[in-house]
Structure 1
Amino acid sequence: MQTIVVTAAIIKHRDRVLIAQRKENVHQALKWEFPGGKLEAGESPEQCLVREIREELGLTINVQKIFEVVSHIYGERHIILLCYLCRLIGGSAQTRDCHDFRWVEINELYFYDFAEADLPVVSNLQKRK
């Protein structure tokens, strides 16, 4: 079984959180998630998040602290999802490497079809709001 370390950003801005919809031609197509991506060799999770958010959405963020770690199995893939609280520094969100994005209130998260690995994060955010 392949283990993949993935980072995710919980970017809060003006009482809303940013979610992104996966592209049509990828694993978990069109599912919603907290944006981020795969950790590359030689980079820290924080560096990965800054890079991925810039590449996917055109935003600049400051990674603050770990929020939750999720272990999830998708078939032959074991995903370790490192979720960080982040602060928006600048930029205007764009769909550079995602299908769509939304700024939503935390109590609206359950209206979206999230990837399974992100569901514990949604639940935890709801509890802590």
Structure 2
Amino acid sequence: MKDKRIDIGVKALIFNEDKFLVMHNKGVEEDLWELPGGRMEFGETAEETLKREMLEETGLAVKPIKLLDTWSLIREDYQIAGIIYLCQFEEGEVRLSDEHDAFKWISTDVESLQMMYDDFKIRMLNWNWDEIRGGNYVYRVR
């Protein structure tokens, strides 16, 4: 058990009009996508982690608005307990970090959600997308 670890991950749901941002991990051959974000560092709050990771991974400055859901990833030697925040775009232009080889904006329909990793897809298929989009959090991103 000593070699096993648990991390906390924070992901962002950020809209560009009616679509949201997803990232493709470098080295992954499958057409599977994830929300941008990353792992918490010691001394950070979840919101601070999200802001830092979004700048590092996407070049976007965001403001966490609302905690939407949780997610989990369990592997043989580690697991991640994750939090997903709805975020407001503040500034920047999307650019890729060295962790990802592509990004795109996808719809919230069932067909588009099938492209997400299971850890996210299972949760997102049950979200009330009309309620999420109903706030004033949908912004145009360059």
Shared fold (TM-score, shorter chain, > 0.5): yes
Superposition deviation, residue 119 in structure 1: 1.9
Amino acid aligned to 1:9 = A
Query: Is contact 2:108–2:129 with CA below 8 Å preserved after alignment?
Result: no
The structure that has the greater radius of gyration is: 2
> What is the CA-CA distance between 1:86 and the residue it aligns to?
0.4
Q: Which residue of structure 1 lines up, in the alignment, with residue 19 of structure 2?
A: 16
Structure 1 residues 102 and 48, CA, compared in 2 at 3 Å: closer, same or farther? same
Query: RMSD value over aligned CA atoms?
Result: 2.1
Residue aligning to 1:123: 125
What does 1:1-129 correspond to in 2, within 5 Å? Answer: 1-24=4-27, 31-97=32-98, 98-107=100-109, 108-112=111-115, 114-125=116-127, 127-129=128-130
Q: How much does 1:81 deviate?
A: 1.0
Alpha-carbon distance in structure 2 between the residues aligned to 1:81 and 1:109 = 22
- Gaps (5+ residues) in structure 2? 131-142
Structure 2 distance, partners of 1:82, 1:100, is 23
Counterpart-to-counterpart distance in 1, 2:8 and 2:123: 16
Q: Cα gap change, 1:94/1:79 in structure 2, threshold over 3 Å: closer, same or farther?
A: same
Letter in 2 for 1:2: R
Q: Give the partner amino acid of 1:49.
A: L
Superposition TM-score, scaled by structure 2 size: 0.78
Q: Distance in 1 between matches of 2:38 and 2:22?
A: 13
Quick one: structure 1 residues 29 and 36, their matched pair in 2 at CA, closer, same or farther if it must change by over 3 Å? Answer: farther
Give the whole-Å Cα distance in 2 for the aligned partners of 1:2 and 1:87. Answer: 31
Structure 1 Cα separation of the partners of residues 125 and 17 of structure 2: 20
Distance in 2, Cα, partners of 1:70 & 1:47 = 19
